[in-house]
A and B are shown apart, each in its own frame.
Chain A
Amino acid sequence: MSIEAGASQYTVLHELGSGSFGTVYKAIDKTTGEIVAIKHIDLESTDEDIQDIQSEISILSSCTSPYVTQYKASFLRGHKLWIVMEFLGGGPAWTCGRYTNILQLKPGNLNEAHVAIICRELLLGLEYLHQEGKIHRDVKAANVLLSTSGKVKLADFGVATQLTNIKSQRNTFVGTPYWMAPEVIQEAGYDYKADIWSLGITALELINGGPPHADVHPMKVLFLIPKQSAPRLEGSQYSKEFRDFIAQCLVKDCDRRPSAKELLRHKFIRSAGKVEALQELIERRQLWDGARDRPSHPKYYEETLHTMSPKNDPDEWVFDTVKKATIAARKNTTKRRKLSVIHANGQGLVSGAEDALMRLDIRDAPLDYSSPPPATIIRGTVRRQPSVILASPTKPRQASSQRRPLQPDMSFGNSASTVRVFRRVSDNSTTAQVESDLTAPATRDENRPPMAETVTKDAILGRRVFNKVIDPSFQEVQAQTGNQAKRDALSRLADAWSALDAVDPEGEYQLMKLLLEKVQNDSKLSVHLSPTKSTSRDGTPQASPQKSGAKLILAQNNPHLKSHRRRQSSIMPEEAKEKEKLPNLPGQAVPGMEHTKQLADVLYGRWAGGLRNRWPAV
């Protein structure tokens, strides 16, 4: 079937992040060798109309501009939709502006020159879209992607719209509150100028680290934006041109607001530098990523098989003869959908502000610096959730079918929803991890010491061991393991190992060395283990050679190794630590994990409390 052929053309590598409505993987197009990003959307877990997803695809597929993320293909695989997009290594522009503010890293600020370049590129993108009769409707830094070479691209067309008449207007209330133009909020009819307002807010966001009113609840922002005078860029450190540019974008009367084309002639834009100047941002970002605690194990692609397995139900309906039988109680979980969608004549879309507001309050709290970009309104609450969502990378995977409706939204509140943050980023596996921003700053100062400087030769080798041996081995075994419990156990071990790698690459190297030595010294084992994988002898997950090695250490009391061990005693504590950890993996909490959980709970509690105070009626 041609549909299946589509999927087999790609080798899926690992997860890049959870995007606007699905999980994004890095993959290789086998026919061309090109690296691509593939968004997987689990259609079973979305109550929302497939039509909405399709409309995003159709808008994307009709765009060919260097300023817009390039759509490549889409196809169905079972109930998963794969959308293939170009891969950009740099990540969202959002991250560049934000890091500095979260952690006061210096010198990390996006400066005026950077913002000028980004704005110019965005204007070129918007000019293209607008002349094609498209309105993006959700311009914000989170939806701006950078490539490693510094190219700037508009992404996420989830709420974009195609006008059939270039001069027609829209009324639909969509967007993300902080970035929404007054005319959009007032539902008075708006056109492409709405994107220009959002661009102005995005510029402010990039330079300030957050949009105006970021500390206000999004519901309240919806009242503030039309009522208050337009935000301005404050501060004498910024040039007159920059301040004027922002003022031009943020003209409340959309008729007097300039178009993208006009703004491209603005002095601030004309004097902007080359995109290559943005490369330093990406480099800095990667450094930053490297500097924070070592991201834990990448999440590998795994195909969900259980939902698609053909059902062999002995309790078929009886259509011909009468037959006494009972049917087993079925366990079904599912998402709810407003029934009106079915009965009404296709009026599935939310268009009223009230509706949007109602959806809003449970999921969005005031922005603070550690929070993700707030979700775009009109997306249902469900669609945003990737099918496989991890609260933290160390938590075991949960099949989508185990989730209860709404739970992820509620429990993560504004904090851990960072996991869903758009991060289609990065071009090497170490920075490509998805790590919630929640765990990142928190674990920095507590559980996990900062990553050791890789200076010594051993340390460098240790890193190499991890990158070349451990990491790929885990990948491989993970891919070969079908059982969910085993997978979980395995990924916990992988996490533990990567934690070790972060803390003590030297020890890691020594450990590896020891393992190999011991395997080789045992005549029986060396025969079996040296060339290929071991076989499983017990119920523990089938693991890489290293894992079996670890088990061996525990078991071995080979006398002629004792002297050797004494010689290596300096590194033994490290090894002992590993020992403790390894045997009882499945039940054991990996350090850092329970901590994450607590923190998530605390943050959620605080968020919920704040919400109650502000909105007693809610």
Chain B
Amino acid sequence: MSFLFGRRPRTNTVDLPKQAKEQISKLDGPGAAAKAEELAKTLGQMKFVLQGTQETESSPEQIYSLVTGMIQEDLLYLLAFNLYRLPFESRKDAQVIFSYVLRFRPPSASPKSEPMALSYVINNRPEVLVELCNGYNHTESAAPAGTVLREVLKSDAATAIILYHDPSEGSPGAKGLTGIQPEARQSGRGVFWKFFDWIDRGSFDLSADAFNTFRDLLTKHKTIVAQYLSTNFDLFFSKYNTMLVQSQNYVTKRQSIKLLGEILLDRANYAVMTAYVDRGEHLKICMNLLRDARKMVQYEGFHVFKVFVANPHKSIAVQKILLINRDKLLEFLRHFLEDRTEDEQFIDEREFLIKQIRNMPPTPVEPAQKPALLGSQAR
């Protein structure tokens, strides 16, 4: 494969980031098209340095100097910020570059250590992650940014950065991981909250990609998320219920009901779950899902509904709703999704719910146990 090296223009690896930075800065000016082409070439070379080919290995020394160069030139931020303006192939190249750079550890570093570029981003340049999220502002950049993000979200620190990003908290400066205050409630202006809009309003591709990232944010790092949801319970679930669960978009609706079930049934989120099923208005939303015209929505709704009914410490509000509708519910559940004849677990669970509802005391009873108190809730 040596001929490949022969043909490659001999730009010094160290100069590539600088070159790319310059080319990006000229994307606006005259001759932007030509600059974009040059930039595409530069990014192609960077990709080549990073990943080698199927036949040739990449050299760690070269990668190291490239990564340090990128950090020096703040190229990660520039790339993330301008991702949507790059040509099609360059966006994919940028995605590859991000993936490799954010994963790279010098050969001397411990395999458990934070990759150097990622550690830099987390501690000094969190805006890179924010701008990657903002990639969902444009169809062009959504998929490459999303791919990079989901990779990065394997890191709990990166997840925390995105969850806790909040521009309204003082200067939007680079506080990084150290600036996070988990107890402070979110204003709702941080980048995480934009996901609701992206998921609800975007085109299918964009919305589905954003949802995948959203799901990763909420399921990958359980302790962080449990704390986050407890603190921001009202804000989160009011947005979640109105924008996602009751979305007009079929995919958004169905996927978010399913994710809601997953979140509630996760042991780490026990406190969140008890608080969620304590609320009468949540049960109302859920019971309406059972009546949705679309069966898969009904089915996903069922798996949230069962949590309310199975809860041994139902709140007065929940009991009232169930009791008022008891006869209806019993009749309804008897015929609910009756074609699902092979789904034994579903049938069992449906039977269980019928029994539970039938055996409820005729008047609401004060629950023996209140939901675990959530940090911030004004109840």
Contact = CB atoms under 8 A, between A and B. Distances in A.
A440 interface: no
B342 A346 contact: no
A309 B262 CA distance: 29
Contacts of A343: 262, 265
Contacts of A57: 204-205, 208
Interface string A294-329: 000000000000011111010111110110011101
Nearest to B209: A58
B212 A54 contact: yes
A289 interface: no
B55 A43 contact: no
Interface string A13-56: 00000000000000000000000000000011001001100100
B291 interface: yes
B325 A317 contact: yes
B208 A50 contact: yes
A389 B295 CA distance: 19
A430 interface: no
B52 interface: yes
A518 B342 CA distance: 58
Given A64-B88, A405-B342, A164 B328 contact: no
Interface in B236-264: 248-251, 254-255, 258, 261-262
A131 interface: yes
Given A43-B296, A259-B55, A332 B335 contact: yes
Q: What range describes how many residues of B lie at the interface? A: 35 or more
A346 B215 contact: yes
B325 A318 contact: yes
Given A50-B251, A58-B209, A346-B215, A309 B293 contact: yes
A545 B307 CA distance: 59
A132 interface: yes
Contacts of A76: 204, 249-251
A342 B325 contact: no
Interface in A149-166: 162, 164-166
A81 B262 contact: no
Contact of B294 (A44, A322, A330): A44
A288 interface: no
Interface residues of A, number: 67
Given A62-B143, A130-B54, A332-B338, A319 B205 contact: no
B311 to A, nearest CB: 16
Contacts of B328: 315, 317-318, 325-327
A261 B299 CA distance: 48
B343 interface: yes
Contacts of A64: 88-89
Contacts of A47: 296
Interface in B327-342: 327-328, 331-332, 335-342
Contacts of B351: none
A321 B296 CA distance: 29
Contact of A3 (B99, B204, B346): B204
A47 B346 CA distance: 14
B88 A334 contact: no
Given A322-B324, A326-B331, A332-B339, A74 B284 contact: no
Interface string B152-171: 00000000000000000000
B13 interface: no
A56 to B, nearest CB: 11
A446 B338 CA distance: 43
A523 interface: no
A333 interface: yes
Contacts of B258: 342
A329 B335 contact: yes
B262 A345 contact: yes
A332 B299 CA distance: 11
Contact of A339 (B51, B324, B346): B346
B255 A50 contact: yes
Nearest to B207: A76
Nearest to A6: B203
Contact of A54 (B209, B250, B331, B339): B209
A137 B70 CA distance: 35
A166 B52 CA distance: 9
Contact of A79 (B99, B250, B262, B332): B250
Interface string B172-198: 000000000000000000000000000
Interface in A511-542: none
Nearest to A332: B337
Given A44-B294, A64-B88, A405 B339 contact: yes
B376 interface: no
A457 interface: no
Contacts of A79: 250, 294, 296
A307 B294 contact: yes
A100 B331 CA distance: 59
B334 to A, nearest CB: 8
A165 B299 CA distance: 38
A75 B203 contact: yes
A130 B219 CA distance: 31
Interface string A242-269: 0000000000000000010100000000
A325 B103 CA distance: 61
B321 to A, nearest CB: 6
A192 B54 CA distance: 10
B204 A58 contact: no
A535 to B, nearest CB: 34
Nearest to A79: B250
A336 B342 contact: yes
Nearest to B293: A311
A104 interface: no
Contact of A62 (B92, B219, B339): B92
With a 10 A CB-CB cut-off, give which of A61, A62, A130, A313 has the most chain B CB atoms: A62
Nearest to B259: A346
B284 A319 contact: yes
B205 A334 contact: no
B261 A44 contact: no
A461 to B, nearest CB: 47
A334 B347 CA distance: 13
Given A75-B204, A308-B293, A339 B343 contact: yes
A337 B266 contact: no
Nearest to B290: A317
A399 interface: no
With a 10 A CB-CB cut-off, give which of A192, A261, A319, A321 has the most chain B CB atoms: A319
Contacts of B343: 336-337, 339
Contacts of A311: 291-293
A43 B51 contact: no
A78 interface: yes
B331 to A, nearest CB: 5
Given A76-B204, A406-B342, A44 B295 contact: yes
Interface in B282-323: 284, 287-288, 291-296, 298-300, 303, 321
Contacts of A317: 284, 287-288, 291, 321, 325, 328
A130 B54 CA distance: 8
24 contacts: A43-B251, A43-B254, A50-B251, A57-B204, A57-B208, A164-B147, A165-B51, A261-B54, A307-B293, A308-B293, A309-B293, A311-B291, A315-B328, A317-B291, A317-B325, A318-B328, A322-B324, A332-B295, A332-B337, A339-B343, A342-B262, A342-B303, A343-B262, A405-B342
Given A57-B208, A317-B325, A405-B340, 17 more contacts: A44-B296, A54-B205, A58-B143, A130-B54, A133-B96, A166-B52, A261-B54, A307-B294, A313-B291, A318-B328, A329-B335, A334-B339, A334-B340, A342-B258, A342-B262, A345-B266, A405-B342
Sort A-B residue pairs by CB-CB distance and give the 6 closest, nearest first: A336-B343, A333-B339, A334-B295, A339-B345, A54-B208, A79-B250
Interface of A: 1-3, 6, 43-44, 47, 50-51, 54, 57-58, 61-62, 64, 74-76, 78-79, 81, 130-133, 162, 164-167, 192, 259, 261, 307-311, 313, 315-319, 321-322, 325-327, 329-337, 339, 342-343, 345-346, 401, 404-406
